[in-house]
Amino acid sequence: MPSFQKRGRPRRRRPRECHRYLLFYKPYGVLSTFTDPEGRPTLSQYIDVPEQVYAAGRLDMNSEGLLFLTNDGWVNHRLTHPRYKLPKTYLVQVEGIPTPEALDALRRGVMIKGRRTAPAEVELLEEPPALPPRPRPVTPHGPTRWLRIVLREGRKRQVRHMTAAVGLPTLRLVRVAIGPLTIDGLEPGQWRDLTLDELRELRQILSRASGSRR
């Protein structure tokens, strides 16, 4: 029996939307979109699902690592809006030897286009991380080191601008985690659906972050 609104007009039942949540290891040289007017490599060459999903927080073409894709607007908004401060973890190869002063500056915040970045977690790694080789190898002009950087904001090309501001150009950038979600178990070009446990944990974290802003 159909349900009715006021004035006796029938109310159509909206089909229940099927939400999809994907983790994808974006390779070097691939855009974080599904189309490109210039014909460059895009996500469509790797991901073919019926749902219209979008990346919640992009990586530039020359960066690699974890992308979260969904058609759930509630989750997408909270993953990308800086007010929720969801940590994102990066492994960063820089050219040069980071000094204690440079590391402290990155932790405290540096000026980028007239605005200071938020405090960040920055760790100098003793050994290079175990990562898949990049199709186009890095060609440094001197010694390099690896940093682990955790940000809670997401400006465009922020990590690259931050390291450049302290005299350490970024040579390779790999995002390895978004909140509790990690790239573990994926190779470049591979994707998978979130498990129910992962989705439940993520929603709990985002709900707590929403409550803390009220």
Amino acid at 64: E
One-letter amino acid identity for 140? P
**Percentage of residues in the chain having pLDDT higher than 90:** 81
Give yes or no for a contact between 153 and 117, defined as CB atoms under 8 angstroms apart: yes
Domain region containing 67: 21-194
Here the CATH number for the domain that contains residue 56 is 3.30.2350.10
Q: Which of 36, 48, 60, 104 is catalytic?
A: 60
- The answer to whether 48 is a known catalytic residue is no
Quick check: 110 pLDDT over 90?
Answer: yes
Question: Is 78 a member of any domain?
Answer: yes
Asked if the structure places residue 83 within a domain, the reply is: yes
pLDDT in tens, 139-157: 999 999 999 999 998 888 9
Determine which helix (DSSP H) or strand (DSSP E) holds 122, and give its type and residue range.
strand 121-124
**pLDDT band for position 210 (cuts 50, 70, 90):** low
Number of structural domains, the chain? 1
